[in-house]
Amino acid sequence: MIDDLRGTVVFITGAAGGIGLGMARAFAEAGAKIAVADIDMETLGQAAAELEDAGATVLPVRLDVTDRPAWTAAAEKVAATLGPVRVLCNNAGVSTLGLKFGEITPEFWDKVIDVNLNSVFNGVNCFLGPMRAAGGGHIVNTSSMGGLMGGVPTLTPYAATKFGIVGLSEGLRAELADDGIGVSVLCPGGVRSRLWRTSRRIRGVPDTEVAPSDMSGQSALPTGMDPYQVGLRVVDAVRKNELYVITHPEFRSAVVNRHEQLMAAFDRSEAANSESSRTPAEKTSP
């Protein structure tokens, strides 16, 4: 458990804006040294300058999270400049909100899997060895409330990846506990971010500075949570080694409803198994 983050090196993907930048602000306030990574170097440079102006030690790194050799190069650069990474935040992702399954081509599906799920593997695969060598650390994987409750129309590929991140995080936590490495999975609801805009590139839609009025522009709504508040929750979770990081308690009932359906299925299975174990005479007896 890393309860004192002063001087700790934190590596955050998808950090040019939104939740990634919110995490960077919160970790910087806690005294950590921050490596911010993103594929958009122009916007990332602006974010890094903002962090530096606030007094943070920060290193911007261009990274395509689907490019495994690029991960290796990024890790080497960070280690040489800031020191060994002790906290890894796999935060980069894209949304498919508003797209029905029939609109998802095999090529688009593969891209979503690569950016949202394979990138988490890439990050852990790259930093796990050095983290062990450094004596431990913490991994934060950004999932979504969509990774806990499912059943959201026009969000199927996204939800599939986010459910995968929850399962991956739970497995990693059990496996890495003896190495002194904690694992948290962040499951936020609506957060104000650039997700609507950064997701357009993978959809093959031209960039725009004006958020669309349809569902795909949801992350631009002013009613979304401030990403800095999400960052504060993540910092607290790292300090306390919490597995699940929930930021929107209003979704409790939806998650409970999903689990009640699962429990009902177990009840039906128990009843069916009990019935099948009865002998023919028992089944016909009054």
The band of 221, judged by pLDDT with boundaries at 50, 70 and 90, is low
Asked if pLDDT for residue 278 goes beyond 80, the answer is no
Domain range 9-247, CATH architecture = 3-Layer(aba) Sandwich (3.40)
pLDDT of residue 181: 98
| Beta-strand runs (E) in 73-222 | 85-90, 137-142, 181-187
Between 285 and 234, the higher pLDDT residue = 234
Between 201 and 44, the higher pLDDT residue = 44
Asked if pLDDT for residue 223 goes beyond 80, the answer is no
For 175-203, the pLDDT digits (tens) are 999 999 999 999 999 887 666 456 556 66
pLDDT of residue 282: 56
pLDDT of residue 196: 46
Per-residue pLDDT, averaged over 139-144, amounts to 97
pLDDT of residue 281: 59
CA distance 177 to 216: 38
Q: Are 219 and 190 in contact (CB under 8 A)?
A: yes
CA distance 78 to 82: 6
Q: Given the structure tokens 């490495």, which residue do they identify?
A: 181
Q: Are 202 and 64 in contact (CB under 8 A)?
A: no
pTM of the entire structure?
0.89
Domain segments of the chain as ranges: 9-247, 253-286
What value does the mean pLDDT of the chain take?
A: 89
CA distance 242 to 226: 21
pLDDT of residue 206: 57
What values do phi and psi take at 133, rounded to 5?
-65, -30
Asked if pLDDT for residue 216 goes beyond 50, the answer is no
Please tell me the least confidently modeled range out of 27-31, 60-64, 204-208.
204-208
Catalytic site positions? 158
